[in-house]
Structure 1
Amino acid sequence: MNFDELTRFLEKRVQLSMPGESAHQIMKPKLPNGAPLKMRHEVPPRKGGVLILLYEDQGLIHFPLIQRPNYDGIHSGQMALPGGRFEEEDLDQYQTALRETHEEIGVHHEQVKIIGNLSEFFVAASNYMVLPVIGRIDFKPRFVPEPREVHDIITPPITDLIDPNKLKEKEITVKNGFKMQCPYFDLEGRTVWGATAMMLSEMVQILNEFPDK
């Protein structure tokens, strides 16, 4: 998979109609009996942005994922794309994704070329409307984790996302003992599930359209 050819393909592809909800549903958790999860919120969702940052290393295209620290919150210990919530100083959700990526893993926004974005995604668990931004960087970054927000960083090759052997399912128990049946990506031995997996599922569908994958 050629890095420049892939990013040129992505730049054009994201301008067209996107898979959106049909891709998200593939990785959506369910109740153990197979019933869909339903969550309601009384207030409008907050905006957020995350970054799928592509770079090349030894002939393979990689992207970083972070593991959140353990804390008293709904996303404790989970794998995620770097990113966070929209702040007043942000011009848009693109800037949110770039700012948060710099804060969390040390990659400066000036080093990143924006390719485009996937479909905006509603994270029901935390009531956020998140824009997944795709970017590229033309060298292997030196990642610097912010210890209060990042416990660990993994950098799987993008080809792992389209490897059917990496797509699995299991029961996951979250806060307060709540159980869900969850499809997930097994990336570098980590379980990538929930909102992050659902957003990456749209990336998978687009990558599968690339003629030289």
Structure 2
Amino acid sequence: MKFKAFKDKIALLKTRKLGGLEEQFKLAPALRLQYDSAKIAASAPKKAAVLALFYPNSTDETVFVLTKRASYKGTHSAQISFPGGKINKEDASLQETALRETFEEIGITAKSVEVIRELTPVYIPPSNFLATPYIGCMAATPSFLTNYEVANTIEVLVADLLNDTALSKIDMTTSYMKNKDVPCFKLNGYVVWGATAMMLSEIKELLKS
């Protein structure tokens, strides 16, 4: 998808009805399906926000950025995700959280990002976070400056996300599940699953409009 075509879609992206849980659950691990709204509320999840940042690459194709988390002793070590993190008391809103975290993790300033819209929050059982995604875009190809939380950035073509051949399943073993088939996207040689895949599933449906 050329970046002009993406820009032409922005007005529609802002107003189109979201696919919500129906779209997210197409890429949800079995563990997530066990949680309804009442169970999530009873868990009193911590709030977080992430940014799905779209921009033109060097050939004017529309791409978005994912990050590979640094390795650490924690639930989401070395996983693929959008830039983002938990809300701070200084943040006026979750949108501000997403923009602040994006600046801290990959060096993109808030003033350079046009926030298009908020998406459906995603509950993450292993860490008990409720993460709200935002779609944003930049008019030019950015230069990323990563911090210690990010091992590297991953540039993904929107065309690859929209191609159904990117959909797959993988046998997954983590600290909280063993040998479970998990739906995922395979993008640029990386396996994208869990909350990030759920967010991408909703974004994919929105972009196909």
Q: Give the ranges of 4+ consecutive aligned residues of structure 1 lying more than 6 Å apart after TM superposition.
A: none
Match of 2:159 in 1: 159
Query: Per the alignment, in what secondary structure is the counterpart of residue 195 of structure 2?
Result: helix
Identity of aligned residues (%): 33
Deviation, structure 1 residue 12? 2.9
Structure 1: distance between partners of 2:7 and 2:136: 9
The residue that corresponds to 1:38 in the other structure is 34
Aligned runs of 1:77-116 on 2, under 5 Å?
77-116=78-117
Alignment of 1:22-171 (within 5 A): 22-30=22-30, 38=34, 43-57=43-57, 58-147=59-148, 149-171=149-171
Q: TM-score, normalised by structure 2?
A: 0.90
- Distance in 2 between the 1:206 and 1:109 partners? 23
Alpha-carbon distance in 2 for matches of 1:193, 1:63? 16
Distance (whole Å) between structure 1 residues aligned to residue 196 and residue 106 of structure 2: 17
* SS of match in other structure, 2:30: coil
Q: RMSD of aligned C-alpha atoms?
A: 1.8
Q: Is the contact made by 2:65 and 2:156 (CA closer than 8 Å) also made in structure 1?
A: yes
Aligned-pair distance for 1:119?
1.2
| Separation in 2, partners of 1:59, 1:187 | 19
Residue 161 of structure 1 aligns to a residue in which SS?
helix
Distance 1:51 1:99 in 2: 10
Structure 1 Cα separation of the partners of residues 80 and 113 of structure 2? 22
Q: Secondary structure at the match of 1:114?
A: strand
Question: In structure 2, what residue type is equivalent to 1:170?
Answer: I
Q: What TM-score do the two structures reach when normalised by structure 1?
A: 0.89
Amino acid at match of 1:68: R
How many residues matched? 204
Residues 76-133 of structure 1, C-alpha deviations (whole Å, 9 max, x = no match): 1100000001111111111100000000001111111111121122222211111111
Distance 2:95 2:61 in 1: 25
1: CA distance, partners of 2:28 / 2:47: 21
Contact 1:11 1:116 in 2 (8 A): no
SS of equivalent to 2:126: coil
Cα deviation per residue 1:51-90 (whole Å; 9 max; x = unaligned)? 0111001121111101111111111110000000111111
**Distance apart, 1:43 and its partner CA:** 4.0
CA offset digits 1:109-160 (Å, max 9, x no partner): 111111112112222221111111111111111111112x001111011111
The Cα of 1:2 is off from its aligned counterpart by 3.7
Alpha-carbon displacement from aligned partner over 1:156-193 (angstroms, at most 9, x marks no partner): 11111111111111111112663321111111101100
Partners of 2:122 and 2:11 lie apart in 1 by 19
Q: Counterpart of 2:193?
A: 193
Q: CA deviation at 1:30?
A: 2.7
Offset, 1:5: 3.9
Matched-pair contact (CA < 8 Å) for 2:126–2:176: no
Structure 2: segments with no counterpart, 5+ residues? none
Residue identity opposite 1:207 in structure 2:
L
Structure with the bigger percentage of strand? 2
Report the CA distance between 1:195 and its aligned residue. 0.5
Higher helix share: 2
